[in-house]
Structure 1
């Protein structure tokens, strides 16, 4: 049994500007036919059928939902998914928010988390970890990957907002490249993981605002696509 993780880029899809081209976000105004084609390409690319992809509504909350099979529609009002079912791929969509992929390879429990500023502030990552433990995971075995997100040097916020988030997510306050108040959500989430006993933490260093092959809501003026962070349990080696 292995845990597999994939982070897509904006390249290689069917969507036209401003969603060009591998947009996977269903609520951004993209052509439904292009979106469906991109979803099929994602499933083909990871070797699963499209019905084995599980999506979530993502409302910037702290709900973590546990799923045990395919879902006909995105899971309502949730920002984290947990499963112990093999070959069931959990998908988090982002375009500046921080995706977090979590897995306990011994227990066979995985989670995909959408941790934006609001969700991270209210504890969506903590809720995901708690749901994983209920499913049989052990924090001492969980491996975490913090995916691409807006970096602290780029993510400028009002000072009051920075202080509010720092109070709830210690370690997230920083200065931007311009010397103004900023947020580094991945730094705060890293601290939160460490406090929860997670020792294996990887970080994808890419900043969405600085990386053209990734979608960025802030850089692209609010009208853009979403890339996917995907995690699933592969029950066997495929040769």
Structure 2
């Protein structure tokens, strides 16, 4: 198998979990999927994609569970005994397991990673415009609470995604979104209506009781930064991923966790 380098573009530190965002770097795919494309549904060579996925599994040390993402607000739980390679239709997933990593794939939408280091509950969510407005983040937090997490302990990392200054939409779409999610209303850098999904997500997460200090949302814009795939830049393109894995047992069982912060790999 090809040796892949620099799979991790960003690695936000989350207590009780290992979190990371991949980028285009480190893959072998040809244009227009050039880079570490992890999606099988975009027309790339499946053999190349599978090699990329195996390299990511080698990086995180456990099988990676993917979803059939459909821009819904549906959440699934990966429980003990579930096949980690079974692909289920949903846009968020939650687990208490330490022997699997959860992934969501994106190319402008928000990849959101969540962890409660005390309860030993982790989650990933794919929050595009439709999913964000329909409640995928609220549903994810609710399912995490059912598994023992508490909002005031949750740490959240929002990964690379298109920014409000670049996400141009029709004026009616901005108005409709702002009616329920005021923070999403934006104006692009060229003065047209836009949507700020990142600000909308922070608004939702804070409304769920997650402290602002626990929400990291400083990742790059995918349209501006060529390190990441962007559907707005090129509609025929690959997908990068947000990935999270529990680092061990809960604090009550002796897990010291990790310090907070955000680093870009060399």
Please give the TM-score of this superposition, normalised by the length of structure 1: 0.94
Q: Which residue of 1 aligns with 2:215?
A: 201
Q: Name stretches of at least 5 consecutive residues in structure 1 with no aligned partner.
A: none
Map 1:43-62 to 2 at 5 A. 43-48=57-62, 52-62=63-73
Q: Distance in 2 between matches of 1:152 and 1:145?
A: 18
Alpha-carbon displacement from aligned partner over 1:86-129 (angstroms, at most 9, x marks no partner): 13100010000011100000000011000001110101010100
Q: Which residue of 2 aligns with 1:41?
A: 55
Q: Distance in 2 between matches of 1:21 and 1:195?
A: 37
Map 1:41-120 to 2 at 5 A. 41-48=55-62, 52-68=63-79, 69-76=82-89, 78-120=90-132
Q: How far has the Cα of 1:70 moved from its partner? A: 3.3
Q: How far has the Cα of 1:189 moved from its partner? A: 0.5
> Which residue of the other structure, out of 168, 177, 190, is the alignment partner of 2:180?
168
Q: Which residue of 1 aligns with 2:137?
A: 125
Q: Distance in 2 between matches of 1:46 and 1:204?
A: 23
Q: Which residue of 1 aligns with 2:204?
A: 192
Computed over aligned residues only, the root mean square deviation of the Cα atoms, in angstroms, reads 1.3
Aligned residues: 232
Q: Name stretches of at least 5 consecutive residues in structure 2 with no aligned partner.
A: 1-14, 250-254, 256-266
> Which residue of the other structure, out of 238, 245, 250, is the alignment partner of 1:225?
238
Map 1:128-139 to 2 at 5 A. 128-139=140-151
Q: Distance in 2 between matches of 1:124 and 1:74?
A: 18
Alpha-carbon displacement from aligned partner over 1:14-62 (angstroms, at most 9, x marks no partner): 21111012000111001010000000111111222xxx21100000000
Q: Distance in 2 between matches of 1:163 and 1:169?
A: 10
Please give the TM-score of this superposition, normalised by the length of structure 2: 0.85
Q: Which residue of 2 aligns with 1:148?
A: 160
Q: Distance in 2 between matches of 1:114 and 1:27?
A: 16
Decide whether the 8 Å contact of 1:149 with 1:207 is kept in 2: yes
User: What SS does structure 2 have at the residue aligned with 1:140?
Assistant: helix
Q: Distance in 2 between matches of 1:153 and 1:228?
A: 23
